[in-house]
A and B are shown apart, each in its own frame.
Chain A
């Protein structure tokens, strides 16, 4: 149990375009979902926390108008990188918390974004 999927796994886009990343909890209801960013050989950087049906809470330094998060249901959250630039290229990982273990975060496989 506690499987989280993420789509797409890899995306290449042109500078100025928007990219949407989906995160789904497949076998449990995720009361909270998290979006992380990770640069090569660096630790996870929390971008935002979202609860179903409410606005996401963004970490300091993360632009909420650039990284739009929608947590529409208990099994789906989306991250949209708007007007992407090369510096947005990174590994984006979602995680979800819920189900039988209310504390544990289960991670999706990640999305590698390359902005040209």
Chain B
């Protein structure tokens, strides 16, 4: 079967670093995505990993280990505007996205 799991909520301090983990199980895999969604808005694309390793994009980095079915999103130098839900999703063998429930990130001053 397929499943994907991420923490429901995390809290971090402004200026700090936070890592949001995502684990998944699937027989067919065509990459893993991270999206950011602010309350009341649609998701915006953050990253796409299809090979193992770390992809860095400014303050945000995303890591993938296909053998472990594991990914994380790393946010550095946290800003208040980073308060949002972070959705991970993997693309299955039919090129369909399977979504996690999202991690609500709360940033405190």
* Distance of B43 from chain A, by nearest CB (Å): 5
Binds B, one of A12-20, A82-90, A100-108: A100-108
**Contact A103-B48, Cβ < 8 Å, known A43-B87, A43-B101, A44-B99:** yes
* Chain B residues whose C-beta falls within 8 Å of the C-beta of A2 in the assembled complex: 45
A35-54: which have CB < 8 Å to B? Answer: 42-44, 46, 49
Q: Does A93 contact B (CB under 8 A)?
A: yes
**Contact A104-B101, Cβ < 8 Å, known A44-B43, A44-B87:** no
B56-109: which have CB < 8 Å to A? Answer: 87, 91, 95-97, 99-102
Provide the main secondary structure of the chain A interface. Answer: strand
Q: Is B48 in contact with A101, judged by CB distance below 8 angstroms?
A: yes
Chain B interface size band reads 20 to 34
Q: Does B31 contact A (CB under 8 A)?
A: yes
* Distance of A109 from chain B, by nearest CB (Å): 5
Cα–Cα distance between A46 and B8 once the two chains are bound (Å): 20
- Set A6, A49, A104, A112: member contacting B45, Cβ < 8 A: A104
* Chain A residues whose C-beta falls within 8 Å of the C-beta of B96 in the assembled complex: 46, 49
Output the nearest chain A residue to B101 by Cβ-Cβ distance.
A43
- Set B43, B87, B95: member contacting A103, Cβ < 8 A: B95
* Distance of A44 from chain B, by nearest CB (Å): 5
**A66-90 to B contact mask, C-beta < 8 Å, 1/0:** 0000000000000000000000000
* Chain A residues whose C-beta falls within 8 Å of the C-beta of B42 in the assembled complex: 6, 93, 107-110
The 9 A-B residue pairs with the shortest CB-CB distance in the complex, in nearest-first order: A110-B42, A107-B42, A43-B101, A93-B42, A107-B43, A44-B99, A109-B42, A43-B99, A43-B102
List 5 A-B residue pairs with CB atoms under 8 Å apart, sorted by A's residue number.
Answer: A6-B42, A44-B99, A46-B99, A103-B31, A110-B42
